[in-house]
Structure 1
Amino acid sequence: MQRHFNIYWLALLILPFLFSNCVKNADSKLADTSYRHWVWINPQDSDTEAELAARYKKYHDAGIVGIFFEADSEKHYRAAKSQGLEAHRWMWIMNRSDALKAHPEWAAVSRSGVSCAEKPPYVDYYRWMCPSRPEVAEFLAKDVENTLSKDYVDGIHMDYVRYSDVILAVNLWSTYGIVQTQELPEYDFCYCDICKAKFKEKYHKDIDSIQYPQENLSWKSFRYDAVTDIVNQIGKVAKAHDKPLTAAVFPTPDVAKRLVRQDWTNWPLDAVYPMIYHGFYKEDVPWIGDAVKQGMRGIDGRFPLYAGLFLPDFKNNEELDAGIKYALENGASGVSIFGDVTDEVLAILSKYNKKSM
């Protein structure tokens, strides 16, 4: 009798757990049958609530599940959420002119010894902070904390979470009148005293004594890790709020590490959004599929990948349609769109809501 009694109570304890897992698995399988699309937007104050309601309903109906907003606009966030969309704050991380204005000593320093606070590379808004400084990490963690404390913000989407481009995408060379077939000193960051001291402490090497520091593998790893440490600290804040952390990153793991010291396959993300802007690299539309394939291999199923597409890179709607197909066929969970999201673009996206079973 006692044995039957124990089995009875054991069943009562186990059954809810089994039922819960069955529901979760069913939800997961249901989610796996649908592609999820996103858009990057800079919200405009002039938009009315009626305009936003109509716009975001069309987004939702086309298979878009969330929006990355480049500014904090409660009106836009709540309008999106009222139409069933997720509303995430799209934040600049390491490129922060506001921080350097108050703290120029936080600036990244080039191999030629010039501070980003004094002479930014390429363009005036390139004001990069040094990721090795504890006060920079503290500033960013506090900034993310303040943002995620707002009930209308569903998550943090990181951008510019890297160093300045040591080498620009090849299509931009003519724009700036630069030929970057090698890493030039004025674009190679960060060589501030804090970075040099921390590198020496870890590797027992003086970076100034190395003849070709740009080729030193330990120095490369040190800088990959410095950015990753920033992401790890931001990740702790996001986890404490139980809100997702995502990132816009360079198109493939190799390109990201080579051009901007960004090792995104090793970050604690809930999803990644590589900016597979094929025109920037003078590549054709099929390259989108190649880039997705490389990214999927790098993350090895640890989190989903969404292919970032730059609408001006596509000559026509047929090319955009093909680009989306290449992304999805190679493992992307959906796409993220940057550009003018017209009704024609929405019509194309709406074709790619359900995965073929």
Structure 2
Amino acid sequence: MLKMKLISALLLAIALLTYSACKKEKNTLSVDASPPLVKILSPQSGSVLIEPVTIILSVTDESKISEVFIILDGDTLSRLTDMPYELYWNVGYWADGQNHALLAVAKDEAGNIGKSDLVNVIISKDAKIAPNLIEPANNAVLPEDSVVTFRWNGLTDAISYELQVATDTTFSDIMIANTITDTSFIENSLSAGTYFWRVRALNNKNKYSAWSRPFRFFKGNMKDDAPILGVWLWGATLSEQGATAVVAKLTENYVSDVFLLVKGISGSKTPASLITEFIRKAHDNNIKVHLWYVVSSDGVFISAHPQAHIYHCPKPSVGHNEPYPMDDERVNLLYPGYKEYVLNSIRYFVTNFDCDGIHLDYIRYSHFVYSFDEYHLKKADSSGCNTERLLNLFVDNYDYYAYNEGFVNLYFQGDSDVVKWVELRKNVVYDYIKSIKELIAEIKPDLKLSAAFMPEGATNPQWADSYYAQNYALNAELLDFIAPMSYFKDYGKTTSWVKTVTEQALELVNDNCKICAGVQSYGEVTALQVREQITYAQQAGAHGVVFFRYGSTTEDEWQVIKELFSQWPKDE
């Protein structure tokens, strides 16, 4: 019977959508002939629901979506016309212990119709309803001297409401606990800080509803001093999961900043529509978006300029007594026109998107054995460096100078030619960052400029200078914050290494450049190790943490992130 009802409802929804589509001009040929792709991301099929949940949909299409229906057991539960396509669902009204079927149907402006797979859930007989919070909105920032108005939607048969305001997500440190007969409350005694609030109802049978989903809000202007509690996010992951689901996940786990990859190693750019949609939704939830840009690799540029490859030093064992090119996406940073190409790309992102910052990655050399191309050699020659001698070091004894780091040892010893070579590469990196900073200052001076740096630059600066030419102290004057990628497991270290890297990085930078620890959540890292990394970063004095990455983080890790991010002091 339920199956027949679902089929009837689906046919009716399709008929209604088709009818409205046919009202458009019949002679117009539609370019878009593909139906919308519709997925129910939450709840998951097989879930047993006992408290209110948010139904989250992913709806993508070549055309604009005109309307979306959420259908429950054959009846329309909601009609959505605007993003985000989600619905806070008080499941308590269906508390019968039975199976219930969810379906989503979407129509685009071209008249194409798509539907999701069925999602079957069981609603417990003990399921409860809960009030919906209205204001302060989740992650709202209120003036320090403001009066706070708490407001929520009422429930039928409620005779009173219990309001709780706390400084933590577990509501153990409660600041306000009041019973109210209305659906609003005004409070003027809260000082500056971070707060969480929730409400539940008491009905005329002396039964409590479920607690509402807690909302967080801030009192006091923390825009510039707020810690960076962030995550790196691939554009491909955003495309797969959809902006609505990703922002919901970030909001739920108190992420304040997201670093969205908009141009990676391949050189391909994340679609503009996806970036725009994501930024809008993130900003609606007070989440800042930094556009993450890979500098020294670009497959698109290499395809158009095959001579722009980086060059390896001589390696006689493979038949190369002269420098030779690599066959990959890495670009020679001194190749004519590449710096202008990078600046034009940054200009495109800064001009066209309402982002909060630009985040540079791979703003470095990949090893000391590279960059022995004609442009670097010529520039080094002009500075008085004997490049013929440098090349002969590798020709005469490659194993010692390359494999055994004899080249690095010469730098440590102050060898004049090696020092000039390393300084040249350091200045190239510095010049790229400086030029990007000046470009941003011309267009949107309030944007933050940050970068992901190799951790060795903090723990062994000279060694990192010779390898990567990426110097913390030199570039700190240009950057608002640096994220050392202290991925302990990749380096065979313990989680306490995050503290070591953070502390030593802080010793190298000036007061205007903050350090936000880059922590690891991929590679079979446990939830306990995520907890230890974040804790060590905070103990070391980090301005926050950024974890790599969204899409490779387990639910157990997310629970730890949620707990520790919610408790990180916001008034540093």
> Deviation digits for residues 281-301 of structure 1, max 9, x if unmatched?
111111111111110011032
What residue identity is the alignment partner of 1:206?
Answer: N
> Deviation digits for residues 71-111 of structure 1, max 9, x if unmatched?
33222222211111111111110111111111122222111
Structure 2 contact 422–466 (Cα < 8 Å) conserved: no
Which of 232, 248, 261 is matched with 1:40 structurally? 232
Q: CA deviation at 1:260?
A: 2.0
Q: CA deviation at 1:155?
A: 1.7
Greater CA deviation, 127-136 or 103-112? 127-136
CA distance in 1, matches of 2:296, 2:425: 13
CA distance in 2, matches of 1:28, 1:201: 51
What residue identity is the alignment partner of 1:338?
Answer: F
Secondary structure of the residue aligned to 1:67 is strand
Secondary structure of the residue aligned to 2:310 is coil
Q: Residue 353 of structure 1 corresponds to which residue in structure 2?
A: 568
Secondary structure of the residue aligned to 1:138 is helix
CA distance in 2, matches of 1:49, 1:274: 27
CA distance in 2, matches of 1:198, 1:331: 40
Which of 252, 256, 270 is matched with 1:65 structurally? 256
Which of 277, 281, 302 is matched with 1:75 structurally? 277
What residue identity is the alignment partner of 2:563?
Answer: I
Which of 420, 441, 453 is matched with 1:249 structurally? 453
Which of 495, 520, 534 is matched with 1:324 structurally? 534
Bigger proportion of residues as helix: 1
Superposition map of 1:152-301 within 5 A: 152-166=354-368, 188-202=369-383, 204-210=384-390, 211-212=392-393, 214=407, 215=410, 216-240=418-442, 241-242=444-445, 243-253=447-457, 254=461, 256-267=464-475, 268-301=478-511
* 2:559 is equivalent to residue 344 of structure 1: yes
Q: 1:56 to 1:235 in 2, by over 3 A?
A: same
Structure 1 contact 35–352 (Cα < 8 Å) conserved: no
Q: CA deviation at 1:154?
A: 2.2
CA distance in 1, matches of 2:548, 2:541: 20
Q: 1:277 to 1:259 in 2, by over 3 A?
A: farther
Structure 1 contact 252–295 (Cα < 8 Å) conserved: no
* 2:288 is equivalent to residue 89 of structure 1: no
Which of 245, 252, 261 is matched with 1:51 structurally? 245
* 2:146 is equivalent to residue 146 of structure 1: no
Secondary structure of the residue aligned to 1:37 is strand
Q: 1:50 to 1:336 in 2, by over 3 A?
A: closer
Structure 1 contact 249–256 (Cα < 8 Å) conserved: no
* 2:325 is equivalent to residue 115 of structure 1: yes
What residue identity is the alignment partner of 2:427?
Answer: D
Q: CA deviation at 1:313?
A: 5.5
Say which structure, 1 or 2, has more relative contact order (CA 8 Å, 6+ apart): 1
Structure 1 contact 36–353 (Cα < 8 Å) conserved: no
Structure 2 contact 252–562 (Cα < 8 Å) conserved: no
Structure 1 contact 252–294 (Cα < 8 Å) conserved: no
CA distance in 2, matches of 1:156, 1:356: 24
What is the identity percentage for the equivalent residue pairs of Structure 1 and Structure 2? 19
Q: CA deviation at 1:53?
A: 4.3
Q: CA deviation at 1:307?
A: 0.2
CA distance in 2, matches of 1:321, 1:236: 38
Structure 2 contact 227–543 (Cα < 8 Å) conserved: yes
> Deviation digits for residues 297-349 of structure 1, max 9, x if unmatched?
11032311100001135742222222112111112101001133443143233
CA distance in 1, matches of 2:499, 2:439: 33
Q: How many residues align?
A: 298
Which of 96, 99, 106 is matched with 2:301 structurally? 99
Secondary structure of the residue aligned to 1:95 is coil
Which of 306, 326, 331 is matched with 1:129 structurally? 331
Gap regions ≥5 residues in structure 2 = 1-218, 263-269, 315-322, 395-406, 411-417
Q: CA deviation at 1:251?
A: 1.1
CA distance in 1, matches of 2:220, 2:377: 50
CA distance in 2, matches of 1:128, 1:46: 27
Structure 1 contact 128–163 (Cα < 8 Å) conserved: no
Q: Which has the larger radius of gyration?
A: 2
What is the CA RMSD across the aligned residues, in angstroms? 2.5
Q: CA deviation at 1:245?
A: 1.1
Secondary structure of the residue aligned to 1:157 is strand
What residue identity is the alignment partner of 1:226?
Answer: V
Secondary structure of the residue aligned to 1:247 is strand
Gap regions ≥5 residues in structure 1 = 1-25, 121-126, 167-187
Q: 1:142 to 1:264 in 2, by over 3 A?
A: farther
Secondary structure of the residue aligned to 1:198 is helix
Structure 1 contact 37–335 (Cα < 8 Å) conserved: yes
Q: Residue 124 of structure 1 corresponds to which residue in structure 2?
A: none
What residue identity is the alignment partner of 2:532?
Answer: A
Secondary structure of the residue aligned to 1:149 is helix
Secondary structure of the residue aligned to 1:281 is coil
CA distance in 2, matches of 1:49, 1:129: 32
Q: 1:354 to 1:314 in 2, by over 3 A?
A: farther
Secondary structure of the residue aligned to 2:482 is strand
Secondary structure of the residue aligned to 1:312 is coil
Q: 1:289 to 1:222 in 2, by over 3 A?
A: same
What residue identity is the alignment partner of 1:41?
Answer: L
What residue identity is the alignment partner of 2:234?
Answer: N
Q: CA deviation at 1:129?
A: 1.6
What residue identity is the alignment partner of 2:357?
Answer: G
Q: CA deviation at 1:146?
A: 0.7
Bigger proportion of residues as strand: 2
CA distance in 2, matches of 1:347, 1:338: 15
